[in-house]
Amino acid sequence: MQEQKENKAIALLENYGQEHIIEVLNQKNGEEKEKLIEQILSISFEQLADLYQKAKQIPELENDKIENIPYVDGQKLSKEDRENYEKIGTQEIKNGHYAVVTMAGGQRNKIRASWTKRNVFNANKTRAKISF
């Protein structure tokens, strides 16, 4: 049974051009080899190949647009204006829209945001919330 699994794993690796892993597999023995075979068999190489091909494609941005936005000092907005902006933003998110905003260094302090770049990129641990 183990030999069948190993042959299947080797065939998968050969089929997807991963022969270098066969060399690693041949260097393993016992439980280490069994674990590596199980890992290989659990990988969806077809899905990885599909994702790789899609990642090389240049997306069409026919409905997207890039434009400048005016600077707004959140500290100088009235309570009514802040609520209005929050309402608009919430509605846009519900509609599946989003925006990307880039800021110069030090802007986190200027807008008194509670997040850092690290928090934004590590979204599983911290959710970014911008408040004025």
Whether residues 51 and 8 fall in one domain? yes
Whether residues 39 and 11 fall in one domain? yes
Indicate the helix (H) or strand (E) that contains 63: none
Q: What is the pLDDT of residues 46-57, one digit of tens each?
A: 999 999 898 888
Q: What is the pLDDT of residues 87-109, one digit of tens each?
A: 988 888 888 887 766 666 665 56
Would you place residue 126 in the very low, low, confident or very high pLDDT band (cuts 50, 70, 90)?
very low
Q: Helices 2-15 and 19-27 sit at what angle, rounded to 10 degrees? A: 150
Whether residues 8 and 35 fall in one domain? yes
Our count of domains for the chain comes to: 2
Among the residue ranges 21-30, 36-45, 61-70, the one predicted with the least confidence is 61-70
Residue 65 forms part of a structural domain: no
Stretch 17-41: mean pLDDT? 92
Whether residues 45 and 17 fall in one domain? yes
Whether residues 6 and 41 fall in one domain? yes
Stretch 10-18: mean pLDDT? 92
The overall average pLDDT reported for the chain is: 79
Whether residues 44 and 87 fall in one domain? no
**Confidence (pLDDT) at 23:** 92
* Domain that residue 18 falls in: 2-56
Whole-structure pTM value? 0.44
Residue with tokens 């699994």: 5
Residue 129 forms part of a structural domain: no
Whether residues 7 and 45 fall in one domain? yes
Residue 68 forms part of a structural domain: no
**Confidence (pLDDT) at 114:** 62
Stretch 62-68: mean pLDDT? 71
Whether residues 8 and 47 fall in one domain? yes
DSSP class of 47: H
| C-alpha dist (Å) from residue 95 to 84, 85, 87, 106, 124 | 17, 15, 12, 31, 23
Residue 45 forms part of a structural domain: yes
End-to-end CA, the chain: 63
